Structure 1
């Protein structure tokens, strides 16, 4: 039987202690937003036997940042008869190590959204997330802030799709695609969805010499995005393939309409 890999570098032992609530805080830079219903559930069924210990990071100012257990911390903070909680306290060198610890705890324990993973990755200095950030900034776009429920123009939550597009088509093509979508539909909250980004990045990568950015923006602006998506779905039903492929086909038709030369093509996927 094959023995599972074991990490022998377990790090320094945490300090176990009771910590006053007024010395604990949540770093919103990488933490997920509080879910009030979860807090109320903990309060309703509160018992020390189920509370466990919070994971805290000791800060230089004498306070402690929560990187695991923020809902339990908030429930304890709201409980009228609790002033201190049990905790395992670790010492880390910098804030990005806290974000890395947050990612490690939550990836191993439960699913976190791609947006939460992105912002924690930015704080932790993750190379892939920093690359995505750079591409979006160059395009005048950004990832939705952590905890934001309402979408907005020039913002996206399509982290996985952007990562895949960068890997397939490169930074420049994805930057150009995001910029074009932002400029074509400046008031559309859903313009920067993953399928649209992948479809257009493919065209920018495969038509480097022939594609005219301003023409692409103008042609897309003149086409209702929802109708464009519907046309892509019609193509998919007729010929198969994924959504990005068929939206790319529609974009090629829209761009080439009226042209006699310098037509763009679909080209290979990657």
Structure 2
């Protein structure tokens, strides 16, 4: 039994309609397909499993057209379909069906982010870099904050010993803190980590950043102390404080860890800088 499509149950769109040039379908040689590393993720371990599964069960009836955009040199950048194209190549296929869209790099990255935004295999960091390439205003604002605070949002996972000063995965927490506390508080909080002691490699963590933002938000005098604040935080031992928070616990909720860290930072700064708020003075 079949039924026709209908729109009766849906509200008509109210946004401006500007879909851009109509795409067209074409079989394209895989040798002409490229990956723009500016916004595309690498095929990691889980992705490799996915590629192998597609290749093992390869069937054109399950193969959605690859979304591509023309780039220089007669090549095409893959917007969506890197995994299934790689699987087709493993099966010896020299051409794949493609939906060709007319889009510059920013639009390609925006399309990638839109297509992959609700897929769990795309991490928050990967999505951030895609949105940054697409010149998303929120991503650009966060990038400016990271530049000011000497922070780098990593694209892929590293073992903890390889994480360098300022490197972090905590893009979700950074965005949350930016929305809740604002640009200046977030920059100062990050600088309390990256511009003190030896740079505190590995400690630009969500719980620590959120704890610092909470403390500085509640104590504007400390937030505005500038170099005096950084000199004080130069003596704060993030590693020791974290060990104390985690001591004797197999598991700790992030909200609990952040609260405990905030209390340690608040007590430390009260001793070093005096009362930072009415609450501290009470």
- Mark the runs of 5 or more structure 1 residues left unpaired by the alignment: none
Greater shift, 4-13 or 135-144, is seen at 4-13
Structure 1 counterpart of 2:189: 177
Instruction: Decide whether aligned partners of structure 1 residues 185 and 43 sit closer, same or farther in structure 2, where only a CA change above 3 A counts.
Output: farther
Question: In the alignment, is the contact (CA less than 8 A) between 1:203 and 1:265 conserved in 2?
Answer: no
Q: Distance in 1 between matches of 2:169 and 2:189?
A: 15
Q: So what's the TM-score if we normalise by structure 2?
A: 0.80
- Mark the runs of 5 or more structure 2 residues left unpaired by the alignment: 1-7
Taking only aligned residues, the RMSD between alpha carbons, in angstroms, comes to 2.8
Asked if 1:106 corresponds to 2:116, the answer is yes
Question: By how many angstroms is 1:119 displaced?
Answer: 0.1
Question: In the alignment, is the contact (CA less than 8 A) between 2:149 and 2:187 conserved in 1?
Answer: yes
Structure 1 counterpart of 2:129: 119
Aligned length: 256
Paired residue for 1:33, among 36, 42, 61? 42
Paired residue for 2:267, among 228, 239, 253? 253
Paired residue for 1:86, among 94, 97, 101? 97
Question: In the alignment, is the contact (CA less than 8 A) between 1:219 and 1:254 conserved in 2?
Answer: no
Determine helix, strand or coil for the equivalent of 1:224.
helix
Structure 2 counterpart of 1:217: 233
Question: In the alignment, is the contact (CA less than 8 A) between 1:203 and 1:267 conserved in 2?
Answer: no
Paired residue for 2:10, among 3, 24, 40? 3
Alignment of 1:1-270 (within 5 A): 3-6=10-13, 9-34=18-43, 35-79=47-91, 81-92=92-103, 94-107=104-117, 110-111=119-120, 112-144=122-154, 146-151=155-160, 152-153=163-164, 154-184=166-196, 186=198, 188-210=200-222, 211=225, 212-221=228-237, 224-230=240-246, 242-257=256-271, 259=272, 262-265=274-277
Question: In the alignment, is the contact (CA less than 8 A) between 1:219 and 1:255 conserved in 2?
Answer: no
